[in-house]
Homo-oligomer: A and B are copies of this chain.
């Protein structure tokens, strides 16, 4: 099982980074592989947590050089495609945990929902359309709950029709 962690980079708060590290640890604790965008902030904290707990991490990098990966990425996937790599992070995952984040994270949430991937949110974007809240993002209160919900959804193969 592969679980994606998405979230803010430079703008991530200390609280978000702590959550990300706990999410990474919980992913490894369940024997799943962590995939992310491979850079700093939430991505780095999540990778550090996963590695601390003995897990494996994949970083899907935007640039052309593996050296831009954070030091906790085991397997750098080098795309050279900039932000278009966001789609690869979520397509490669069985479920996605979104932590905080800005517009880049929002693009990943949108792609994940478009492809029917389960998305679990920790203090992340809220969406509304046509005057109604969109409840596709499952809300979690703690890192452990987020990873449990993500793994359960992934195991259940929950998918929604793609647009």
Contact = CB atoms under 8 A, between A and B. Distances in A.
A64 B79 contact: no
Given A83-B111, A163-B103, A125 B127 contact: yes
Copies of this chain, complex-wide, total 4
A107 B111 contact: yes
A11 B58 CA distance: 32
A114 B106 CA distance: 9
Contacts of A106: 106, 109-110, 113-114, 127
Given A102-B163, A127-B106, A163-B102, A80 B75 contact: no
Nearest to A58: B75
Nearest to A11: B163
A78 B91 contact: yes
Given A77-B58, A80-B83, A128 B130 contact: no
B87 A66 contact: no
